[in-house]
Amino acid sequence: MLDETHPEAEAYPAPSFGLSLTVFVLCAFTIGFSVIKLGVDAHIPMIISATICALVGVFILKRPWREIEQGITGGITIALVPVVILMLVGLLVATWIASGTVPTMIYYGMQVLSPRYFLVASFLICSVVSVATGSSWTTAGTVGLALMGAGGVLGISAPMIAGAVISGAYFGDKMSPLSDTTNLAPAMAGSDLFDHIRAMTWTTIPACLIAGVVYTVMGLHFSGDLASVEDIAEMSGLLNAHFTLGLFTLIPPAFILFAAIRKYPAIPSLIIGILLAAVLAIAVQGVAPAKLIGIVHYGFKADTGVSAVDSLLSRGGLDPMMWTISLIICALCFGGILERCGFLGSILTTFSRILRKPSSLIGTTLASCVAGNVFLGDQFLGIIVPGRTFRPAFERLGLAPRMLSRTLEDSGTLTAALIPWTSGGAYMFGVLGVSAFSYAPYAVFNWLTPLLAFAMTMMGIGIFWKVKEGQVTRRKPAQSASVTAPSPEVS
């Protein structure tokens, strides 16, 4: 990445706005046309776009190859821990199905949750779990996975369930003080953590309430397609016939949730969750060790005789997760070159200098976070790059730091899961089995929040102005309009 850890990168001039915009348009066309028009996976278009950026960097900007290479390795380094987590999640899903953990969660979910209110219940359940754990990934990989199975058996559309699960999962990822992005955003903006959370309630709570209403209406509207009581009974019987079900099979997810709440390291926690499930698979379900190794490697293959149940339970494994991991690596190589050559920074800096109104500044920051996710492939970069670029502009207009941190989370955190090649979007596909393009329309909370944030700013609602150090007001100070330079605290 092009930052203070690479001081030698500052010796090279930044690309012009026109060149940067040309590169962006060309790369966006390459990816968009290939994925949307040609219907191909994003891997090769990402590699082509990365090649375009590298060629421009070497032959036009005269950057040495070592600079480009550092961008590639720096981009990949960001994702090393998420990649290991993704590999372990593949193992975890496979062992949880083989151990009877997922079938048990599906079974009880069918018995407890009303089909008509399944979507809103899924949204609320995931919201509560994600606030407690501070992790959208943990929420989706535990209760989210079970809700996908239970909802599928009930006849509810998989993209709808995934949208409700992801909306709830990202509510906590955005609002919980345990979340990494909730701590990252105020750090980039120079805001206090709890000031940041309080500021987010202005946009988050209305979006949450609207999403809850939408999911309630959706559940009632699509109730005619739901499975009948007889179908549910039949599928429950199938699960009972092929697995030994019981509360003891819920030990692995109970441990994972406990570890997440206690903030234990993710990788050791996942390994223990896999081992617990492996013991249950061998001791309770009677799976032979050799067969279990094959399941962990290639995924669980259900054979109940009912295609609907088989498709729900045939998933997981290390090998199928490699598609997702390769997509993330391609995206981060592209993003690393893009940032190292300074294309994104050039465009954002140009915009930040000409913005003179809170509505235009916040709207541009929201859009920049989406662009950061699209082109850099990682939600942390989607927060960091716009955050450090636009911080002086927020200071110049006299806006409180919490306004920047709130804006970064409203867009940077929430839109990451809506883009297939970000680590968040790829993870959700790997766990839930639904592509980002399919569930995005139903992830109401994720796309509604940034729209609501911009609309509220346009109406002058929920805007915080900086009066002096440590003090803010929601009434625009008279002198703020004439502020022309960042305050001394901006580095």
Greatest Cα-to-Cα distance within the chain, rounded to the nearest angstrom: 75
- 465: three-class secondary structure by DSSP: strand
Q: Is 99:292 a contact under the CB 8 Å cutoff? A: no
Would you state the pLDDT for residue 491?
29
pLDDT by residue (tens digit) across 358-397?
A: 888 999 999 989 988 888 777 787 888 888 788 888 888 8
Would you state the pLDDT for residue 489?
36
What DSSP string runs through 305-368?
S-HHHHHHHS---HHHHHHHHHHHHHHHHHHHHHHHTTHHHHHHHHHHHH--SHHHHHHHHHHH
Cα 177 from Cα 182, distance rounded (Å): 6
H helix and E strand count, the chain: 24, 2
Render the burial of 434-457: b for 16+ CB within 10 Å, e for the rest: bebebbbebbbbbbbbbebbbebb
pLDDT by residue (tens digit) across 96-142?
A: 999 999 888 888 877 777 788 889 999 999 998 888 778 888 888 88
Would you state the pLDDT for residue 405?
92
Domain ranges of the chain: 81-320
Would you state the pLDDT for residue 488?
35
- 121: three-class secondary structure by DSSP: helix
Per-residue pLDDT of the chain (491 residues; tens, 9 = 90+): 344 444 444 457 788 989 998 998 898 888 888 877 888 888 898 899 999 999 999 999 989 999 899 888 887 887 788 788 888 888 988 999 999 998 888 888 777 777 888 899 999 999 988 887 788 888 888 888 888 888 887 778 899 999 999 999 999 888 888 788 888 888 888 888 888 888 999 999 999 999 999 999 998 876 545 555 566 777 778 888 889 999 899 999 889 888 877 878 888 988 999 999 999 999 999 999 999 999 999 999 988 777 767 877 888 899 988 888 888 888 888 888 888 888 877 887 787 777 778 888 999 999 989 988 888 777 787 888 888 788 888 888 888 889 999 999 999 999 999 998 888 888 898 888 898 989 999 999 999 999 999 999 999 888 888 876 656 666 666 554 434 433 333 32
| Other beta carbons within 10 Å of 220 | 13
Q: Is 203:413 a contact under the CB 8 Å cutoff? A: no
Residue showing tokens 């949450």: 208
pTM: 0.79
Would you state the pLDDT for residue 484?
40
Would you state the pLDDT for residue 231?
65
Helices 401-408 and 358-376 pack at an angle, to 10 degrees, of 40
Q: How many CA atoms lie within 13 A of 86 on its CB side?
A: 26
Q: How many residues does the chain have?
A: 491
